[in-house]
Amino acid sequence: MFQRWILVIALVASCGHDHGPPRVRKMVEPAADAKRTALRGGGPARSPRIANYKIDARLDSARHLITATETLTWTNTGESPVETLPFHLYLNAFKNESSALMRSSGGELRMAKASDTGWGWIQLDSVMIAGVEQVSRLKFPGLPDETVSELPLAQPVIAGQTIEVSFKFTAQLPEVFARTGFKGDFNMVAQWFPKIGVRTGAAGLEQWECQPLQATTEFFADFGTYDVSLTVPNTFQVVATGVLTAATESPGGTRTFTYRAEDVHDFVWVADPFLNQKHGTAKVDDGPPVTVFVYYRGEQEAFANRHLQAAIGAVEKFSQYFGAYPWPVMSVIDPPMDAMFSAGGMEYPTLVTTAGDSVFMRPGIRVPESVTIHEVGHNWFQGILASNEVTEAWMDEGVNEWADAHVMQDLYGPRTSGVDALGFQANMTALRNAVTADPSSLPQPIATAAYAFIDQGTYGNTEYDYTMRALFTLEHDVGSTKFMAAMKAYAKQFSFKHPTGRDFWTALSQALEQDIGGFAHAAFQEIGGLRLAVRSAACRPAHGVRGVLGDGPGKKTVTETEAPDAGAWSCDVVIQNTGAVHVPVDVELRFVDESTQRLHWDGVGTWQRFPVEHSAKLASVKLDPDNKLMLQTPVEYTYRLEGDGAAALRASARIGAWTQTLLQLVGP
C-alpha cells in the first residue's frame, strides 16, 4: 500500500487533462502474449491451487457497472469438514456509511475523500451449487457491514473434496476511493468479484479467515488459477492480471479480452480509453526474461520512463534477493493525476499501480521510483509469500519496506537512493526516519492486527516504519550477508504458502543458527522500542590516593602535595536502556584533544557503567556511532560534557545532534 509520507511529499500539480473524445483503438494482437505460458518458462504448478475461478464480465462504461458470471472451484485441503462457505463482497464497503470501511476511515483515506454520490456495491443475483439455487440462503453475519456473506451448505465438504459454486453478480464501481473505482473514463476494477475466504489453523482444527474490509486492512486469499474474459467498448485499453490469451471483436462496438493467470491469489483489471504503453525487459537468472509494461496517459510520459526503469530494476533485484519472479509479465499502471491518491500505490499479482507524478518530483528526487519499487516488491511480500495482511500486516508492508531500501540503494547508490538533485544527496531510509515517529513513542506493538490500531497514523508508522527499523537493527547485529541469506532461505521455504509471523522467526533462527526469539518478542510483541541514552558522564583529574593511609606507626596523611594531579583524567560513563528491546551497542568517546575511544555494551540489563582513564578530558559520548540501531530517533545519542549539564547546555547539545543528523541526510 502507498506510504502516507510519500503522499505528503508528492503534491499533485494537475487535476486532469482534456484528451478529447475516445477513439476506436487499434486491435491488440494477442499472438505474442498467447505464446507465453501464464508461468514464466512453463513448468508445474507452484501452489496447491485451492481456489480457482472462471469469470466472464462485461463493463458498461457509461454507468461503470459490471455484469458477470463466475464459477469457483474450491478444494477442502484441510482435515475437518466444511459446513459453511464465506465470501468476500468487498465492493459493499462502498455501499453506504454503515460499512466497516466507511466507519473506520470516516470517509477519508490516504489524502482522498469518498464521494457522497458515487457509491459502489456488489449484488449476488444467483448462487448455484449442483444446479440448485442458493441465493436465498446467504447470510450477512457482520450487519450492517455487508462485505462478508456466508452460505450454509446442505451437505458438508469433507476433507479432500472439491465443490463448484456458480455466481451471477452485478458490481457497481464507486467513484474511486480506497484502491477501487472510476474517475472519469478511468476504471480501476479491484476486489470486484465474490472471493472465498481462507482456511487456517492446525490440521483438523481449521477455521475460516474472512474479515470485513476496514480502513487499514487489506486482503488474504488462496492461490489458484484465473480464466477471465472481459468485454469492454472498442475504445478502451484493458490491462489485467496474468497474460492475454485471446482478443476478439464482439457485437455492439465491443471487444472481449481473455486472460489466464496461474498461482495468483487475486485478479484485477484496468479499463481506460486514453492509456499509452511502454515496455522493457527484466533479466532473471533462471529462465526467460520478464516483460515489464508501464501504462500511462500522454501527459505523464516523462514519469512513465522513470517508472519503467524502476520496475525493471525492482524485478531484477527482488528476484536476486528473494527468488525468481515466476510470471512472464509485470504491468505498472500510472493512474491519471486526478485518481492518483485513491487508485495509486497499490499491489496485485503481476499488476501494480504507482504514483508520485508531480512537477515537484524532478529527476533525482526519487519519490516516483520508490513507489514503483515498493509496489513491485509486493509481488514477493505478499504476492508469493501470501501472509495474512489483515492480522499480520507487518509481514508484507514492513518486510517489504526493508527490502525496498536495499533495492533502492543498489539501483541508485547508498548516499543517493532518495535524492540526488539540486546539489543535494540523501538516503531514502534516512529521510524516512527523519520525518516519521520515534518508534519508542508508538502506543501499540508491531504484532497488532491491522483493524485494531487506534488510528491510521499509528498503523502506518508501526507496520511500515517500525518494522523496517527493527529488521535493519537485527540485520546490523547479525551481519548483513548472513541476514540476507537467511531472508532468501525464508522466501524459498514459504513461497506460494501462507507464512505466519511464527514461521518467519523460526525460519530466520534456523538460517542464522541462533535464537532470535527474544529480539522478536521485544521488538514485535511489546511497546517501548529502544530507549537508549547516556545516563551520566563525568571526569575528574587522576591522581594518587589521598587521605589517611595505613595504621600504627606507619599511618600518614597524604595531601594534594604528596599526591598531585597526574595530568590524566578518570572518567565515568553510564549508559542506560529503559526500552523493551535490548541489543548490543557501540559507544564512541571523544576527548578534548580530538582523540577517540570505542567501547561496547552487550545490551544485557538496563544499564552499564564504564570507567575510563585517559590523558585528556572527555568531551562527548556518542551512542551507536555507525548508525546500526534504528529503533529510536537519535536525538539523545550524543551527550556533551558542558559545564554542569544545565538544561540550556543540554538543549544546545540536542540541537547539535539534530543538525549533525540533518547534515548526514542532505549533505553534498
Q: Are 306 and 284 in contact (CB under 8 A)?
A: no
Torsion of CA 619, 622, 625, 629, to 10 degrees: 180
Report the relative pairing of strands 82-88 and 195-196 from DSSP bridges: antiparallel
pLDDT at residue 445 above 80?
yes
Output the pLDDT for position 35: 54
Assigned CATH class of 50-222? mainly beta
Sign of the Cα torsion 577, 579, 580, 584 reads negative
Output the pLDDT for position 422: 86
**Which has more confidence, 1 or 440?**
440
Give 201-253 pLDDT, tens digit per residue. Answer: 999 999 999 999 999 999 999 999 999 999 999 999 999 999 999 999 988 99
Q: Are 171 and 193 in contact (CB under 8 A)?
A: yes
37's grid cell: 505460458
pLDDT at residue 1 above 50?
no
Distance between CA atoms of residues 641 and 491, nearest Å: 48
Average pLDDT over residues 170-198: 97
Give Cα 210 distance to the centre of its chain: 21
Q: Are 55 and 267 in contact (CB under 8 A)?
A: yes
Closest CA to 180 of 85, 99, 270: 270
Output the pLDDT for position 217: 95
Output the pLDDT for position 411: 97
CATH topology agreement for domains 1-12+272-479+493-499+513-528 and 532-537+570-666 = no
Output the pLDDT for position 635: 56
For residue 503, CA distances in Å to 27, 395, 482, 529, 619 come to 47, 11, 18, 22, 47
Most distant CA pair in the chain, distance: 121
Output the pLDDT for position 263: 98
Q: Are 399 and 405 in contact (CB under 8 A)?
A: no
> Angle, nearest 10°, between helix axes 467-478 and 428-435?
130
Q: Are 317 and 410 in contact (CB under 8 A)?
A: yes
Cβ contacts of residue 227 below 8 Å, gap of 6+? 53, 54, 55, 258, 259, 260
E strands of 402-531, at which residues?
419-421, 424-426
R_g of the chain, CA atoms, integer Å: 29
Query: For residue 557, which phi and psi values (nearest 5 degrees)?
Result: -105, 125
Confidence of residue 661 (pLDDT cuts 50, 70, 90): very low
Average pLDDT over residues 3-8: 44
- Name the average pLDDT for the chain: 91
Distance between CA atoms of residues 462 and 524, nearest Å: 10
pLDDT at residue 650 above 80?
no
Q: Are 352 and 379 in contact (CB under 8 A)?
A: yes
In what helix (H) or strand (E) does residue 13 lie, and over which residues does it extend?
A: none
Report the relative pairing of strands 329-333 and 351-353 from DSSP bridges: parallel
Distance between CA atoms of residues 415 and 667, nearest Å: 10
Distance between CA atoms of residues 333 and 176, nearest Å: 15
Distance between CA atoms of residues 341 and 113, nearest Å: 9
Output the pLDDT for position 642: 65
pLDDT at residue 10 above 80?
no
Output the pLDDT for position 36: 65
Sign of the Cα torsion 39, 44, 50, 51 reads positive
pTM, whole model, 2 decimals? 0.90
- The DSSP annotation for 330-397 comes to EEEE---GGGHHHHSSEEETTEEE-----TT--TTB-HHHHHHHHHHHTTTTTTTB---TTT-GGGTH
pLDDT at residue 33 above 60?
no
Confidence of residue 667 (pLDDT cuts 50, 70, 90): very low
Amino acid at 498: H
pLDDT at residue 509 above 80?
yes
User: What region, left, alpha or beta, does residue 111 occupy, with left being phi > 0 and alpha being psi -120 to 50 degrees?
Assistant: left
Instruction: Please provide the CATH number assigned to the domain covering 1-12+272-479+493-499+513-528.
Output: 1.10.390.10
Fold of 532-537+570-666: Immunoglobulin-like (2.60.40)
Q: Where are the domains of the chain?
A: 1-12+272-479+493-499+513-528, 50-222, 532-537+570-666
Confidence of residue 149 (pLDDT cuts 50, 70, 90): very high
Average pLDDT over residues 47-51: 98
Output the pLDDT for position 609: 97
Query: For residue 371, which phi and psi values (nearest 5 degrees)?
Result: -65, -45
Distance between CA atoms of residues 161 and 39, nearest Å: 26
Output the pLDDT for position 142: 95
Give 343-376 pLDDT, tens digit per residue. Answer: 999 999 999 999 999 999 999 999 999 999 999 9
